[in-house]
Structure 1
Amino acid sequence: MMVEMFFWKGNNLLQQFENYSNLLLLSGPPSSGKTSLLFQFAFNIAAHDSNSTNPNVLFICNRHRLDFKPPFLSQGIDPSSNVFHRIRIKYVNDEEDIRNYFAAFHLHDKLPDAVVIDDFGDLFDNRVCQQRYSNPRGRDLAMVKSLALCHNAINYANQKGSCKLLLSDTHTHQGDSPRFHFIYKKWIPTTFTIKEGDISGSFILKGRSYSRTDNTATGSMKAAKYSIALQYLVFDGLVNNDQIE
């Protein structure tokens, strides 16, 4: 898995999306460009399948958040590109909407090539989940149940074709991060983590794969430097992980 898939490569699109892990997590602090990276990933997947005339990427998000803070595009992308017609946006309010969608995933006439969910952890309200499950750890239970549905749905899709699931979350960088990390590692084998760079507005994106059986890291990848400048997502180049530890 390469971090370049979150950035626009012009006509030199990566040609081996099918070799990537099917379940991915993008983790980063607030205001680090996660939504922009997710949308660029969705655009790259849609552009990769240039022969498709139907929407083949589903971008799931909260409508209010997307309207309040829309994603920035990479320089060089034509805002009128037909690729955008192959990205469908689905608005959700909470974890119940997510479960309903994935529970009926196998009933869809056309399965997407990718499903992208922005701010996945924010869909799980702690108080609502505690009441729903009559358990003080209701939020954890709700997340596990939803991730299990996501996992089964993506596995089903990959028996018929190719489908990726990419989630983003901010909670892995907050006080309850160890618990969130543990839950995600059980279901998501590849995680991309964002850290702030040494200059304001710059960031570093690192990737790592984990074993589902014992949560140990199985491999690391190159890291990417990027920035959010002049309302653009700017790719500043690749670096080796050992250069930024």
Structure 2
Amino acid sequence: MNTVKILLVEDHMVVRNGIKLLLESEGEFTVIGEASDGVEALSMLANGLAPDIVLTDISMENMDGMELLKVVVQKYPLVKVVILSMLNQIHYVVEGFDHGLAGYLLKNVGYHELLFGLKHVADGGRYISEEVSMALLEQVSSGQVYTAVEKGMTVDLDINDRELEVLALIADGFTNVEIADRIFLSKRTVEGYRQSLIDKTKVKNTAELVKYAFQHGLLK
């Protein structure tokens, strides 16, 4: 039986190793390459690596997952791209599928859903994890409309993917120490991101930051 060949792109080695072990515990998948960012992944593809699926995070240095997606879709149309991220903001999902994304999964997804989603993509389908699908359904049922203005706000504020990741965890009520543990950063670095977000949004404190983020479409 042919296995599904995966190029795994993730900047945290511990997380990458965990995902690799999880995938290879299932006989249908083989991780044929590992990269820490989009630049390294593209170099491997240029050197002849031929995965069926590129499984990538969004927030990475040098080249993030969204930029990697755009290049892979153009240069390697037979390779499918699936995002596996902690970020469940709807604008990432919309942008990704606008550019040819094959799947969007959250890192808190269950073992069986992860495998099912990847198998579905390998068979030619597209997949969105259940939690993201429900968020989209809630937006539709409540009459909310995703707009290009919302999509562009992060660019106007010059908020990067890592800051958005920290912002989402702040909104979920995690402390600096807890955020640092979850995304493998130092407490001081997380504190720096929090202050940077406050400065960029011109709010006074964390409570106002979270309120601002929801009001202006940074978080859903």
TM-based fold match above 0.5: no
Q: Which has the higher contact order (CA 8 A, sep 6+)?
A: 1
TM category (shorter chain) comes to 0.3 to 0.5
Higher strand share: 1
Instruction: Give TM-score, length-normalised by structure 1.
Output: 0.34
Instruction: Give TM-score, length-normalised by structure 2.
Output: 0.37
